């Protein structure tokens, strides 16, 4: 907006390259939320339910959405309230990690509910990376302590020698000591 107007001469190839670099960096920091799916049945055993709930917890901790599908077969289709109760129970169990994004809906033979995580995918990635690094550091410290203990025991003195067995102690007379 200067008077007289001023223009800047620049290398167009360099300009295009720098814009491409900025776009690539923006894409690298961008995270896409994946919808994971967990399938259940209305007559699920307690242990199986806990296992499936553990998978849902892992997905929500990673920052992914979870689509929970309850499949009805045969006469189970006449009792959709069983599936509804199961989905409500699961939503209550994982309420500290996620929220119900879409409430349970009957869709033919299936009942579907979507859970969304409370934290963003990028935050979850950062937390998981920090936890992994701290675990690796603790493991390295433990290995260093064990190595130091072994070295100290080795440096303390000679290790007890094995007892030499004489010929009379050997059970097989054919073998020389």
Tens-level pLDDT at each residue, the chain (177 residues): 778 888 888 899 999 999 999 999 888 877 677 899 999 999 999 999 999 999 999 999 888 899 999 999 989 888 899 999 999 999 999 999 999 999 999 988 999 999 999 888 778 888 888 999 999 999 999 999 999 888 888 787 666 667 776 656 656 666 665
Backbone angles phi and psi of 107, in degrees to 5: -135, 85
What would the pLDDT profile of 31-60 be if each residue is shown by its tens digit?
677 899 999 999 999 999 999 999 999 999
CB 120 within 8 A of CB 29: no
Model pTM greater than 0.75? Answer: no
Q: Determine the Cα angle at 51 with ends 46 and 53, to 5°.
A: 90
Distance CA 172, CA 107 (A): 79
CB atoms inside a 10 Å sphere around CB 65: 19
Q: Which pLDDT score is estimated for 33?
A: 72
Q: Which pLDDT score is estimated for 51?
A: 95
Domain ranges of the chain: 35-119, 120-151
Can you name the CATH fold of 35-119? Translation Initiation Factor IF3 (3.30.110)
């Amino acid at each position: 907006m200067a008077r007289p107007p001023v223009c800047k001469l620049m290398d167009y190839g360099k300009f295009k390259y720098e814009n491409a670099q900025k776009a690539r960096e923006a894409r690298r920091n961008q995270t896409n939320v994946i919808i994971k799916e967990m399938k259940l049945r209305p007559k699920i055993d307690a242990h199986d339910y806990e296992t499936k709930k553990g998978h849902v917890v892992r997905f929500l901790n990673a920052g992914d959405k979870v689509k929970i599908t309850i499949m009805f077969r045969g006469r189970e289709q006449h009792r959709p309230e069983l599936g509804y109760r199961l989905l409500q129970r699961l939503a209550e169990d994982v309420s500290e990690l996620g929220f119900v994004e879409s409430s349970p809906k009957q869709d033919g033979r299936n009942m579907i509910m979507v859970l969304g995580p409370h934290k963003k995918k990028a935050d979850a990635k950062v937390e998981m990376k920090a936890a992994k690094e701290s675990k690796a550091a603790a493991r390295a410290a433990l290995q260093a302590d064990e190595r130091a203990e072994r070295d100290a025991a080795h440096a303390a003195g000679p290790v007890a020698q094995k007892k030499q067995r004489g010929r009379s102690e050997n059970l097989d007379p054919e073998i020389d000591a």
